[in-house]
Amino acid sequence: MTEIRVVLDTNVIISAIFWRGSPYKVMKKALQREFDLVTSTAILEEVSDRLGNKFDMPAEEIKKLLDILLSHSHLVEPTTKVNAVKEDEADNKIIECAIDGKAEFIVTGDHHLLKLKEYRGIRIITPAELLETLG
């Protein structure tokens, strides 16, 4: 089977850290290399920012988590720019990462992204839908 390439949205990464639902199961599969995780500096910066500011996580903890994530990811620096999500332009970085990272899936809980369903052949699905797809 060819490796599936997946971009996880910030909300999925953060949910995986704090809760044990579908995002956690998706992250576990990523860390077990059941699919190729694709991310970008912009996504990692947003994760870092949210963990520090919203969840008051110490910088050393954030660094450890990001190091684990990085060691299991293909890091891309997107050059493609899109304006697919008009309601929340910050979400465009997820799509840009997926395009330049040649991902088949974007996994998110964000309704702005989910309502697109697909962009340039990249399916936009929930963590539960990815788990179903992976079987």
Task: Name the domain count of the chain.
Answer: 1
Q: Can you give the pTM of this predicted structure?
A: 0.96
Average pLDDT, the chain: 96
41-53 vs 59-71: helix crossing angle, rounded to 10 = 150
Expressed as residue numbers, the domain containing 128 is 5-134
Is-contact 107 125, C-beta < 8 A? yes
Taking 70 as the threshold, does the pLDDT of residue 1 lie above it?
Answer: no
**CA nearest to 98, candidates 1, 2, 16, 5:** 5
E strands along 1-116, which residues?
5-8, 36-40, 73-76, 105-107
Question: pLDDT per residue over 7-27, tens digit each?
Answer: 999 999 999 999 999 999 999
Question: pLDDT per residue over 48-90, tens digit each?
Answer: 999 999 999 999 999 999 999 999 999 999 999 999 999 999 9
E strands along 1-135, which residues?
5-8, 36-40, 73-76, 105-107, 118-119, 122-125
Question: pLDDT per residue over 119-129, tens digit each?
Answer: 999 999 999 99
Say what the pLDDT of residue 97 is: 98
Is-contact 25 107, C-beta < 8 A? no
Q: Rounded to 5 degrees, what are φ and ψ at 92?
A: -60, -30
**Residue 111 belongs to a domain with what CATH number?**
3.40.50.1010
| DSSP structure string for 107-124 | E---HHHHTT-EETTEEE
